A and B are shown apart, each in its own frame.
Chain A
């Protein structure tokens, strides 16, 4: 496909990044200050990119809708960050990390990108440790590692259960340093509402100050989107309340292709919602499955409390179906099976929306103290949220959306199909294929921000020396501002009866039911019928009290939900067209006899990248073929 030039460098997989670093054009250190770069988002990817670019000398403007860069949702990652350091001498290597990531991604990622990710992973740890990130240490003062998410080597660096927080603070502090010296202009509580193009190139953004409501334009030579994933399309997810797709979607509407929208990751061990008004789901570490046993009652109308249900009336369905792996089957398998039993009506809890994760056996075997030393803080967290004591009563768990592998299509330089516009971190689609491995999200965000984009951004900028940024009174900005203002006015003037949250909740239910863990042709078609109907109602019946000239979180949400509607339709279409099952995308029509995901490498070993055709029209599907020269394609089996 000519339209999608991934710009993968020539050479053996090990040499591609080295060769590329040598061949990209450089910007002379003295000239860097003549370039303005806008970074949207201050999570791991955004903060690290903004800090690194300004250290190089570029003039950077960074925007976040939070009150401080430190609040971005990268902060909530618990488990750790992978790196091919091989400090544990257990046979890890760049190649093994690369191999595991491609395989884990179910062979739907770009080999060259993944290899680069594995290569720079080691630098991330060095950088973070030098910044003072308090990684776990051994008594000799060296960094500690653990094995994570079923990896066969110990390559995960961690900082208690708060690795994301500590890495984000490291990047935030690096950013703060650059703000202090005046190389970075920081805009907090400011949201991107449009990407502006002139002559087909990104030349700036239009933002709205969330406090004053002021709409303004900012021009630059490059725009970097580091705005995270779109998991909140499900309404209930482990994402923070404000996570959204708006920046990426605005870019999509201006010409950036959106890739693999159907690849979403579901995490199997979250605390089930307690009622309709639950606002978000809380994730608990997957390590719980190492010792807990998952079961549901045999009977459909079981009313007895769990301790009164005898062993004979319990169904340990994972142990029954997958004797070899039992409760440790991969995330997607565990998640799908939970959904199956709950859909059958065997769910547990007040609103029958969970399955039991029972520690009774291990407590009996090892004692409560051993369990407490391993999982004490998780048990405390569970008790705080549910008010139930998991040492006495089995935990209730249910899967929740956690991460989205799909995102804005980017080439090897992380540039989108809009020249001058880049997407990094979870916002792009590039490194995880159809499924992300545990502890790899932090790695990718920081790799893009610290070690990839600062090199690759020069390739495009070098040729533009001497070009002044487009002035913000240029017609392209004036038009974009007018469009943003009219959208805001439109929201404020609907005057309907329902809140944004109501629409978001309803949308979430559709997306979860039909584009969730298991998709079918009928379901997706249903989604494609129901979403537009709800969307239409949204534009007619939205109720948005207050003013657009003050802080108005309802207005912020309205813009985000409007974009989620469009995204949800794309997800359904993408899922419908991908007639196979792979990673986070499971089509019930495409499974093995054992109920495993069945890939179709012949027809679908490609990236689906969608081109916007204007509101109301269906996007055009483009394909980037994936070639696997270094990893052999195999089918998983967990029997």
Chain B
């Protein structure tokens, strides 16, 4: 009933972070159009194992588009050509029989290849550690409804918090900049009342950590297009504004922020 596809895959293979990589060509035959892209890779791997070859390593976990583990540049597009879709939710019916598909890892200097298509995105964790939190120790919180949060602020904050930290923004960016990721976390916390006490300290620290790993934004907007959660470029503007504000306010004039 469902269509079957025969595809040619060009896949990046690389032993480890310090090895040279290369493309290998594989045939994927009899692929059902109802499969997800990752299930198609599972099939290819199954075939490789049958023949005693080393399967292709790729990152994946929840396979429902929320954990942010899966990555892949598919024909030059982060998470493939479907808008607002992660690779695990990309289905083969979006491809045509006989297609050649080029699969590469997300690339940036801060995302070294671990093996094959797996990259290390821990620089994102470093950015969060620099200030992507609200310092409230367990047990210190007062009743939740003592701090009303305007619905609009809460909703916009959520739009930013929807980021899954997959790194597609960096991968798609010609500058390997992480502005969209960082600004999303900043906007999530800086837009709501709970985030105000650390707002400017957080902004300064996270931006500077970001800049120590990633390139600089040139306002292309590729990140937004690649983002599976469609995080808005407006958050980048918001970050740019808050950063200079932070520089002005964080001048160690005790309490005068």
A and B touch in the complex (CB under 8 A): yes
Smallest CB separation, B116 vs chain A (Å)? 8
Q: A169 at the A/B interface (Cβ < 8 Å)? A: yes
Smallest CB separation, B122 vs chain A (Å)? 7
B162 CB contacts on chain A under 8 angstroms:
162, 165
Residues in B40-55 with C-beta less than 8 Å from chain A: 42-43, 45-46, 48-50, 52-55
Smallest CB separation, B136 vs chain A (Å)? 4
A169 CB contacts on chain B under 8 angstroms:
161
Closest B residue, CB atoms, query A388:
B34
Q: A385 at the A/B interface (Cβ < 8 Å)? A: yes
Contacting pair B138 A274 (CB below 8 A):
no
Q: A299 at the A/B interface (Cβ < 8 Å)? A: no
Q: A55 at the A/B interface (Cβ < 8 Å)? A: yes
Known contacts A130-B194, A137-B154, A143-B145; A279 and B138 CB within 8 A of each other: no
B164 CB contacts on chain A under 8 angstroms:
165
Q: B107 at the A/B interface (Cβ < 8 Å)? A: no
A451–B118 Cα distance when bound, in Å, is 36
Q: A350 at the A/B interface (Cβ < 8 Å)? A: yes
Smallest CB separation, A361 vs chain B (Å)? 26
Most buried by B among A66, A136, A140, A180: A180
A71 partner, pick from B15, B43, B46, B69, beta carbons under 8 A: B69
A139 CB contacts on chain B under 8 angstroms:
151
B144 CB contacts on chain A under 8 angstroms:
85, 125-126, 128-130, 135, 143
Q: A543 at the A/B interface (Cβ < 8 Å)? A: yes
Closest A residue, CB atoms, query B33:
A387
Known contacts A71-B67, A387-B91; A134 and B142 CB within 8 A of each other: no
A451–B137 Cα distance when bound, in Å, is 12
A125 CB contacts on chain B under 8 angstroms:
144
A73 CB contacts on chain B under 8 angstroms:
61-62, 67
Contacting pair A387 B66 (CB below 8 A):
no
B39 partner, pick from A173, A278, A554, beta carbons under 8 A: A278
Q: B139 at the A/B interface (Cβ < 8 Å)? A: yes
Residues in B126-178 with C-beta less than 8 Å from chain A: 128-130, 132-145, 147-151, 154-155, 157-158, 161-162, 164-165
B1 CB contacts on chain A under 8 angstroms:
350
Smallest CB separation, A243 vs chain B (Å)? 8
A546 CB contacts on chain B under 8 angstroms:
54-55
A497–B46 Cα distance when bound, in Å, is 11
Contacting pair A55 B138 (CB below 8 A):
yes
Smallest CB separation, B186 vs chain A (Å)? 11
A138 CB contacts on chain B under 8 angstroms:
151
Q: B249 at the A/B interface (Cβ < 8 Å)? A: no
Smallest CB separation, A232 vs chain B (Å)? 11
Most buried by A among B35, B128, B149, B162: B128
Contacting pair A501 B133 (CB below 8 A):
no
A51–B128 Cα distance when bound, in Å, is 14
Closest A residue, CB atoms, query B49:
A499
B55 CB contacts on chain A under 8 angstroms:
545-546, 553-554
> What's the count of A-B pairs with C-beta under 8 Å?
223
Q: A325 at the A/B interface (Cβ < 8 Å)? A: no
B20 CB contacts on chain A under 8 angstroms:
none
Q: B72 at the A/B interface (Cβ < 8 Å)? A: no
Known contacts A132-B195, A543-B49, A545-B55; A127 and B2 CB within 8 A of each other: no
A165 CB contacts on chain B under 8 angstroms:
66, 162, 164
Most buried by A among B43, B67, B89: B67
A347–B45 Cα distance when bound, in Å, is 31
Contacting pair B91 A177 (CB below 8 A):
no
B134 CB contacts on chain A under 8 angstroms:
130-132, 173
B15 CB contacts on chain A under 8 angstroms:
550
Closest A residue, CB atoms, query B16:
A550
- Category for how many chain A residues contact B: 35 or more
Q: A379 at the A/B interface (Cβ < 8 Å)? A: no
Residues in A555-593 with C-beta less than 8 Å from chain B: none
Contacting pair B57 A553 (CB below 8 A):
yes
Interface size on B, residues (CB 8 A): 80
Residues in B1-50 with C-beta less than 8 Å from chain A: 1-2, 15-16, 32-36, 38-39, 42-43, 45-46, 48-50
Contact with A along B77-102 (1 / 0, CB 8 A): 00000000100010101000000000
A55 partner, pick from B69, B115, B124, B137, beta carbons under 8 A: B137
A238–B162 Cα distance when bound, in Å, is 21
A384 partner, pick from B85, B138, B149, beta carbons under 8 A: B85
A169–B68 Cα distance when bound, in Å, is 12
Contacting pair B138 A454 (CB below 8 A):
yes
B121 CB contacts on chain A under 8 angstroms:
67-68
A142 CB contacts on chain B under 8 angstroms:
145, 148
Residues in A184-199 with C-beta less than 8 Å from chain B: 186, 188
Contacting pair A134 B192 (CB below 8 A):
yes
- SS class, residues of chain B in contact with chain A: loop
Closest A residue, CB atoms, query B41:
A279
Smallest CB separation, A53 vs chain B (Å)? 9
B143 CB contacts on chain A under 8 angstroms:
126
Q: B201 at the A/B interface (Cβ < 8 Å)? A: no
A543 partner, pick from B52, B66, B133, beta carbons under 8 A: B52
Smallest CB separation, B167 vs chain A (Å)? 10
Smallest CB separation, B37 vs chain A (Å)? 11
Closest B residue, CB atoms, query A74:
B67
Contacting pair B63 A241 (CB below 8 A):
yes
Contacting pair A87 B67 (CB below 8 A):
no
Q: A277 at the A/B interface (Cβ < 8 Å)? A: yes
A22–B52 Cα distance when bound, in Å, is 61
Known contacts A138-B151, A177-B129, A277-B35; A130 and B157 CB within 8 A of each other: no
A142–B149 Cα distance when bound, in Å, is 7
Smallest CB separation, A438 vs chain B (Å)? 18
Contacting pair B148 A67 (CB below 8 A):
no
Known contacts A73-B62, A387-B93; A275 and B192 CB within 8 A of each other: no
Q: B120 at the A/B interface (Cβ < 8 Å)? A: yes
A125–B143 Cα distance when bound, in Å, is 8
Most buried by B among A75, A134, A543: A134
A38–B257 Cα distance when bound, in Å, is 40
A85–B143 Cα distance when bound, in Å, is 10
A177 CB contacts on chain B under 8 angstroms:
129, 133, 135
Contacting pair A130 B141 (CB below 8 A):
yes
A180 CB contacts on chain B under 8 angstroms:
129-130
Contacting pair B2 A274 (CB below 8 A):
yes
Contact with B along A174-187 (1 / 0, CB 8 A): 10110110000010
Residues in A154-174 with C-beta less than 8 Å from chain B: 159-160, 162, 165-166, 169, 172-174
Known contacts A132-B194, A277-B39; A176 and B67 CB within 8 A of each other: no
Residues in A347-393 with C-beta less than 8 Å from chain B: 350, 384-387
Q: B188 at the A/B interface (Cβ < 8 Å)? A: yes
A112–B178 Cα distance when bound, in Å, is 48
A279 partner, pick from B39, B129, B130, beta carbons under 8 A: B39
A551–B36 Cα distance when bound, in Å, is 23
Smallest CB separation, B90 vs chain A (Å)? 9
Contacting pair A545 B54 (CB below 8 A):
yes
A241 CB contacts on chain B under 8 angstroms:
60-63
Closest A residue, CB atoms, query B90:
A384
Q: List residues of chain A with CB under 8 Å of any chain B CB.
A: 48, 51-52, 55, 66-73, 75-76, 85, 87, 123, 125-132, 134-143, 159-160, 162, 165-166, 169, 172-174, 176-177, 179-180, 186, 188, 211, 238, 240-242, 274-275, 277-280, 282-283, 350, 384-387, 450-451, 454, 497, 499, 501-502, 543, 545-546, 550-554
Q: Please give 9 more A-B residue pairs, beta carbons under 8 A apart, in addition to A143-B145, A282-B63.
A: A68-B124, A71-B62, A87-B145, A127-B136, A132-B134, A141-B149, A160-B158, A241-B62, A387-B93
Q: List 11 A-B contacts (CB under 8 A).
A: A70-B125, A71-B62, A126-B141, A131-B194, A179-B125, A241-B62, A278-B35, A279-B42, A282-B64, A384-B85, A543-B52
Give me the 10 closest cross-chain CB pairs, A-B, nearest first.
A141-B148, A173-B133, A130-B141, A129-B144, A274-B34, A134-B158, A52-B138, A180-B129, A126-B141, A551-B115
